[in-house]
Amino acid sequence: MYAVQVFGGDKAKLRKTDNLKNEVAGLEAAVQAAAQEYDRVKLRNTQVWLHTDPRIHVRLSVHTIIKITACFLLLHMLCCQQGAADASA
C-alpha cells in the first residue's frame, strides 16, 4: 500500500506513476528481447561468414573500400565547390 493511499493523496498521480512503471517494464522487456535477437542474428552472421569462401571476403572488402573512397571524393568535390562559391561571393 502506498503512502498516498493512506494519507489521501492524489489518485491521478498514483495512477500515472503506476502506468509509467508498467510502461518502463514493457520497454525493458522490449530492450531485452531486442538484445537477444541481435545476439542471435550476430551469431548466425558470424557462422555464415566463417563458412564462406575467403575470396568473397576480399572481394567484398575491395568493393567496400571503393565505395567509401568514392563517397569521400564526392564529398571533397562538393566542399571544394562550396568553398569556391563562398570565396567568389
Q: Tell me: the pLDDT tens digits for 23-48?
A: 999 999 999 999 999 999 999 988 88
- Strand, helix or coil for residue 68: helix
Q: For residues 78 and 65, state if they share a domain.
A: yes
Domain extent, residue 58, equals 53-89
Q: Per-residue pLDDT for 63 more than 70?
A: yes
Q: For residues 10 and 40, state if they share a domain.
A: yes
Half-sphere exposure of 58 (CA within 13 A, CB side): 3
Domain count, the chain: 2
Q: For residues 43 and 72, state if they share a domain.
A: no
Q: For residues 46 and 75, state if they share a domain.
A: no
Q: For residues 30 and 57, state if they share a domain.
A: no
Q: For residues 32 and 46, state if they share a domain.
A: yes
**Region class of 9: left (phi > 0), else alpha (psi between -120 and 50), else beta:** beta
At CA 74, angle to CA 71 and CA 75, rounded to 5? 85
Half-sphere exposure of 7 (CA within 13 A, CB side): 6
Q: For residues 4 and 46, state if they share a domain.
A: yes
The model's pTM = 0.47
